[in-house]
């Protein structure tokens, strides 16, 4: 490489964020390897944990908006490190990278898997989960965030404990519900105490994977609590890794 090229600033990497893995990747890439990194957040949370490096907040305006951003900023490579349930953004990224020719990687934390003693009922959507809850549950920990609560609000015979990072606003018209605002990581002893003190018989959650939210599953296993677990949505077939280290290695191979 000649000197001029060696001195030229590298083109930035765009990380689609909103997950702990995205923050770790931004820190690893910007810190150890010195890539210019731009992290993108959707802007759903009022006070997000900000990654190191440059941050932009808000939607791009669909595939065309993302493709235009990638071209304008001369993005070198794109990493989709959004939450496993933020599938829409993954499809947009795949299409935008196909039209711009920019390499794309998916950084996806492994899903949780059912173990001995787990009482899981797996579902593909929230109406299915609500039907199961209506048929068998009395006191439910609803740990699905705050934006998709509506399918559960009509279940008048069930008491819900709604747990979310920020309180739902507006809150759908639940007849019987309590709210707890909390952000992980959650410890096993706290999850056990929460389930016991509220006499929870069912947890409804997403198969987000990762350590920060896994303790509720261990507590449920110990206490014989049913878990209604939503499976992950489909994603486009793109190169994927499960760890930040593998993502950094991929960036070394795929950035200019
Ligand atoms: P989504 O359904 O996949 O995306 C909906 C729209 O939000 C996208 O089309 C895009 O708007 C915008 N968007 C999503 N992620 C973005 C990002 N990182 N940067 C800029 N714009 C983004 O997403 P979602 O499920 O609403 O999740 C939104 C964000 O919250 C994601 O970044 C995700 O990582 C985080 N999150 C989601 C969950 C969850 O359970 N869904 C949980 C924890 C964190 P435009 O089309 O206008 O570009």
The per-residue pLDDT for range 46-59, each reduced to its tens digit, is 888 899 999 999 99
For ligand 1, whether the C-beta of 216 sits within 6 Å is: no
Instruction: Tell me which residue has its CA closest to atom 40 in ligand 1.
Output: 85
Measure 233 CA to ligand 1 centroid, in angstroms.
13
Measure 82 CA to ligand 1 centroid, in angstroms.
7
Residues 151, 96 share a domain: no
Instruction: Tell me which residue has its CA closest to atom 29 in ligand 1.
Output: 42
Instruction: Tell me which residue has its CA closest to atom 38 in ligand 1.
Output: 83
In this predicted structure, which of 2-11, 39-48, 103-112, 126-135 has the lowest mean pLDDT? 2-11
What was the pLDDT predicted at 44? 87
| Enclosing domain of residue 147 | 120-230
CATH of the domain at 141: 3.40.50.2300
Radius of gyration of the chain (CA): 20
Report H helices in the chain: 3-7, 20-31, 62-72, 87-100, 126-136, 150-153, 188-197, 215-223, 244-254
In a domain, 15, yes or no: yes
CATH of the domain at 46: 3.40.50.720
Six-digit token string for 120: 């899981």
Residues 248, 211 share a domain: no
Assess whether pLDDT exceeds 70 at residue 1: no
Q: What is the pLDDT of residues 215-235, one digit of tens each?
A: 999 999 999 999 999 999 999
Residues 104, 129 share a domain: no
* Residue in 89, 125, 230 to alter for ligand 1 test, most ligand atoms within 8 A of Cβ: 89
pTM of the model: 0.91
Measure 234 CA to ligand 1 centroid, in angstroms.
15
For ligand 1, whether the C-beta of 86 sits within 6 Å is: yes
The dihedral region occupied by 84, where left means phi > 0, alpha psi between -120 and 50, and beta the remainder, is alpha
Residues 137, 219 share a domain: yes
Query: What contacts 53, CB < 8 A, 6 or more positions away?
Result: 26, 29, 30, 36, 37, 38, 39
Q: How many domains does the chain have?
A: 2
Highest mean pLDDT range out of 7-21, 25-39, 194-208? 194-208
As beta bridge partners, residue 140 has 160, 202
Residues 126, 78 share a domain: no
The dihedral region occupied by 113, where left means phi > 0, alpha psi between -120 and 50, and beta the remainder, is beta
% of the chain beyond a pLDDT of 90: 88
What was the pLDDT predicted at 10? 83
Measure 124 CA to ligand 1 centroid, in angstroms.
19
For ligand 1, whether the C-beta of 44 sits within 6 Å is: yes
Measure 80 CA to ligand 1 centroid, in angstroms.
11
| pLDDT, average across residues 99-108 | 98
Residues 241, 222 share a domain: no
Assess whether pLDDT exceeds 70 at residue 154: yes
């Amino acid at each position: 490489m000649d000197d001029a090229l060696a001195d030229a600033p590298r083109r930035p990497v765009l990380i689609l964020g909103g997950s702990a893995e995205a923050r770790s990747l931004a820190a690893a890439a910007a810190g150890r390897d010195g890539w210019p990194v731009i992290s993108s957040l959707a802007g759903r949370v009022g006070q997000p944990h900000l990654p190191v490096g440059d941050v932009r907040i808000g939607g791009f305006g669909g595939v065309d908006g993302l493709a235009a951003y990638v071209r304008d900023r001369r993005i070198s490579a794109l990493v989709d490190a959004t939450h496993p349930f933020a599938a829409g953004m993954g499809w947009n990224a795949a299409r935008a990278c196909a039209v711009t020719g920019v390499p794309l990687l998916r950084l996806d934390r492994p899903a949780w898997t059912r173990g001995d003693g787990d009482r899981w009922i797996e579902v593909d959507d929230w109406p299915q989960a609500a039907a199961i809850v209506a048929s068998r549950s009395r006191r439910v920990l609803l740990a699905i965030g705050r934006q998709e609560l509506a399918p559960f609000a009509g279940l008048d015979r069930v008491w819900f404990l709604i747990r979310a990072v920020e309180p739902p606003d507006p809150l759908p018209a639940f007849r019987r519900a309590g709210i707890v605002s909390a952000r992980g990581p959650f410890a096993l002893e706290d999850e056990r105490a929460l389930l016991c003190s509220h006499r929870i018989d069912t947890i409804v959650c997403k198969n987000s994977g990762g350590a920060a939210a896994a303790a509720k599953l261990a507590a449920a296993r110990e206490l014989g609590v049913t878990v209604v677990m939503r499976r992950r949505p489909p994603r486009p077939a793109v190169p994927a890794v499960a760890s930040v280290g593998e993502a950094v290695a991929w960036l070394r191979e795929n950035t200019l």
